[in-house]
Chain A
Amino acid sequence: MTGFARRLAGKLLTGLVMVWVVVTFTFFLVHALPGKPGDVQYEQYIMSGMSSEQASAKVQQVYGFTSHASLISQYGGYLGRLAHGDLGQSISYTGVPVTHLIWSALPWTVIPVLSGLLVSFLFGVVAGIIAAVRRSSRWGGLLTVSGSLVAGVPAFVLALLLLVVFHTEWNLLPDAGTSDIQYNPGWNLPYIGSVVQHAVLPVCAYALLSYGGWLLAMKSSVVSVLGDDFILASELRGIAPVTRARYIGRNAILPLFTVLALSFGVMFAGSFFIEDTFDYPGLGDLLLKSIGTRDYPVMAGAFLLITVSIIVANILADLCYTLIDPRVRR
């Protein structure tokens, strides 16, 4: 195996280990919650007339692990079911598989997040380049500060501000829900139009969330590259300006992959606030609601999925970087 392939495999392995750690952590988290929800449920089933096997099986179905078996076998059973994609069943929506709930919530998080990420990347990178090139002028400094400011402001502050300005003051855009109720969901134009209209503010909120990060990262990257010897060398060799711009651009964008990895964490963290404020039924909202109703299987499932998504996104970004930078490729 070449050194490169070996390192690739190493990274994948580390990623798998981290996923496993998170899975185990989630198991113990739910298991350790006071009130032993599984046991409580078990008692309830017994009281409602089920036999112990039936009750046991029902608890297993709902929670993913049996309450009275040994810890190890519970854990094993949990992992086994996970491998089959079974996350248990919801308590508040009785009988509905958790995976089903997550699946229907997923698009309302993933699509706005990805859109917001794209928008913020475009604006942030361009702004970062300008801020770097004009860094000694007043505008450059102002741009940088604005980037830091936006990067530092908490997600819900951004969301609330957007709401106040665009809904309360100017009433341009709606404040809650994914679409107006009068439209039938489906691939028809009015519905899609309404969805888009309702999605504008959440996407803007997501975009603002990571815009600051892109700007600052790109600026510092461009500044650093501009100071590199080979940039001066290319000027002294008479390289054409367009080519030089390409040299600078590609070298500066490379480190931004780490920002991409970080962005996923930030976006998912922000999803709690943004979905709460805009009443969007995404993953974050699912987790929050499940906490309100103490719906433990859903809680565990949502937490697991969010955490694992972030880890996987990090790994992917890391892998992409390895593939693109020839210095690492060897």
Chain B
Amino acid sequence: MAVTANLAPTGIRAGRRWPALTAFRKAVTRKPGRLIGLIIIVFFVLMGVCGPWFYGRLAVDPNALYAGPSAKHWLGTDFAGSDVLQEVVTGARYVLATAALSAFFTSLFGVTVGLVAGYQRGLTDSVLMRLTDFVLTIPGLPLLIILSTVWSFGSPWEMGLVLGITGWGGVARAVRSQALSLRERGFLEAARGLGLSRRHIIFKEMLPNIAPYATMQLMLSMIAFVGAEVGLFFLGLVPFSSTNWGVMLNQAVFSGGAMETPSALIYLLAPLICILLLTLGIVLFLDAVDELFNPRLRERV
């Protein structure tokens, strides 16, 4: 007996070209912090990608050991005379590359398991979920520490793989719950009813719906990945092949005595501040990403 003339009050806005890009731009510029975050991230990515091009081989200046900042060495030098700024810049590449690779492997394992479990249900689902629970239960860091005794995963690929193996549990569980909610919304049945193939359903229907949420989770885990890899180097559990921020920290604290001598402090602080800045950048930017995918969070009228 309801009034049939009742329609939704908000009209459909006229579409613009690249509506996704406009939404993105709006979300990022809404609060200044988010733009700053994006800039920081881009800055570090550029540092990682282009940085090493500016330096040939690691320039060592044996005359200036633990020198303070000067015109020649903007951040001073370390205990062997290497330029600190140079080390920070080249080290960035390793850190970011590893984080990216960890994200890649984590999403590879996690999304696959989550999608299959959410789509198949039944026995496959139970088995996969037990497996996921297992991976989630074993605490990652102690496991990594123990693993470091048998396998020295120093290169970015190895490190990425190991972090991916130990860390895919959370992503899998999140993806699966998203898949299940899609199922509940009748999404899958409708697609099946239309006669779409399983591959099409998984890749063209489910994946695009899950991708935003998964991406957000991944960005969040980037912080954890950076922490884990730098931490492992800091603890001295992984062999140093090239320089990176973790190595710098390890050297600074345990061999360089940066804790005691204020002049060597810069060597310690430089990578530390970089980690802080990168974390800050991701945190600030994630705010925008969150709002994009969670329209409910937008402060509306």
Determine the distance from Cα of A288 to Cα of B144 in the docked complex, in whole angstroms.
12
Which chain B positions have C-beta within 8 A of A277? 253
Q: Is A157 within 8 A of B276, CB to CB? A: yes
Q: Is B149 within 8 A of A156, CB to CB? A: no
Complex: chain B residue closest to A35, CB-CB: B150
Give residues of chain A (109-156) contacting chain B, Cβ–Cβ below 8 Å: 136, 141, 145, 148-149, 152-156
B227 within 8 Å of A (CB atoms):
yes
Interface segment out of the listed A72-80, A86-94, A267-275: A267-275
Which chain B positions have C-beta within 8 A of A145? 33, 283-284, 287
Which chain B positions have C-beta within 8 A of A167? 259
Q: Is A160 within 8 A of B280, CB to CB? A: no
Determine the distance from Cα of A241 to Cα of B194 in the docked complex, in whole angstroms.
55
Count chain A residues whose beta carbon lies closer than 8 angstroms to a beta carbon of B: 43
Which chain A positions have C-beta within 8 A of B141? 269, 272
Q: Is B253 within 8 A of A160, CB to CB? A: yes
Complex: chain A residue closest to B222, CB-CB: A152
Which chain B positions have C-beta within 8 A of A163? 259
Interface segment out of the listed B46-54, B59-67, B118-126, B261-269: B261-269
Contact with A along B15-40 (1 / 0, CB 8 A): 00000000000000001010000000
- Tell me if B's interface is mostly helix, strand, loop or mixed: helix
Q: Is B253 within 8 A of A168, CB to CB? A: no
Identify which of B230, B235, B265, B282 contacts A276 (C-beta below 8 A).
B235
Contact with A along B108-141 (1 / 0, CB 8 A): 0000000000000000000000000110011111
Q: Is B268 within 8 A of A156, CB to CB? A: no
Q: Is A303 within 8 A of B150, CB to CB? A: no
Q: Is A156 within 8 A of B146, CB to CB? A: no
Interface segment out of the listed A21-29, A43-51, A191-199, A228-236: A21-29
Which chain B positions have C-beta within 8 A of A265? 139
B234 within 8 Å of A (CB atoms):
yes
Determine the distance from Cα of A287 to Cα of B31 in the docked complex, in whole angstroms.
45
Give residues of chain A (262-311) contacting chain B, Cβ–Cβ below 8 Å: 265, 268-269, 272-273, 276-277, 287-288, 291, 294, 299, 303, 306-307, 310-311
Give residues of chain B (248-301) contacting chain A, Cβ–Cβ below 8 Å: 249, 253, 258-260, 262, 265, 268-269, 272, 275-276, 279-280, 282-284, 286-287, 299
Q: Is A154 within 8 A of B231, CB to CB? A: yes
Q: How far is the CB of A299 from chain B (nearest CB, A)?
A: 7
Determine the distance from Cα of A153 to Cα of B280 in the docked complex, in whole angstroms.
9
Determine the distance from Cα of A35 to Cα of B227 in the docked complex, in whole angstroms.
31
A9 within 8 Å of B (CB atoms):
no
Q: Is B283 within 8 A of A152, CB to CB? A: yes
Q: Is B259 within 8 A of A287, CB to CB? A: no
Determine the distance from Cα of A168 to Cα of B148 in the docked complex, in whole angstroms.
32
Residue among B149, B276, B287, B299 with most chain A CB within 10 A: B149
Q: Is B150 within 8 A of A33, CB to CB? A: yes
Q: Is B148 within 8 A of A291, CB to CB? A: yes
A164 within 8 Å of B (CB atoms):
yes
Contact with A along B193-224 (1 / 0, CB 8 A): 00000000000000000000000000000011
Determine the distance from Cα of A197 to Cα of B186 in the docked complex, in whole angstroms.
61
Q: How far is the CB of A133 from chain B (nearest CB, A)?
A: 15
Q: Is A157 within 8 A of B275, CB to CB? A: yes
A71 within 8 Å of B (CB atoms):
no
Identify which of B134, B226, B284 contacts A154 (C-beta below 8 A).
B226
Q: How far is the CB of A261 from chain B (nearest CB, A)?
A: 12
Q: Is B275 within 8 A of A154, CB to CB? A: yes
Q: How far is the CB of B84 from chain A (nearest CB, A)?
A: 16
Q: Is A156 within 8 A of B234, CB to CB? A: yes
Q: Is B227 within 8 A of A291, CB to CB? A: no
Q: Is B223 within 8 A of A152, CB to CB? A: yes
Determine the distance from Cα of A294 to Cα of B131 in the docked complex, in whole angstroms.
30
Q: Is B227 within 8 A of A21, CB to CB? A: no
Given A152-B282, A154-B275: A25 touches B237 (CB 8 Å cut-off): no
Determine the distance from Cα of A92 to Cα of B99 in the docked complex, in whole angstroms.
36
Q: Is B145 within 8 A of A161, CB to CB? A: no
Residues on B lying within 8 angstroms of A by beta carbon are 31, 33, 133-134, 137-142, 145-146, 148-150, 223-224, 226-228, 230-231, 234-235, 237, 249, 253, 258-260, 262, 265, 268-269, 272, 275-276, 279-280, 282-284, 286-287, 299
20 A-B pairs whose Cβ atoms sit less than 8 Å apart in the complex? A22-B137, A149-B279, A152-B283, A154-B230, A156-B230, A157-B275, A157-B276, A160-B253, A164-B265, A168-B265, A269-B142, A272-B142, A273-B231, A287-B142, A288-B235, A299-B149, A303-B142, A306-B142, A307-B139, A307-B142
Given A18-B137, A29-B146, A136-B299, 9 additional A-B pairs, CB 8 A: A145-B284, A149-B279, A153-B275, A269-B141, A272-B145, A291-B237, A299-B146, A307-B137, A310-B139
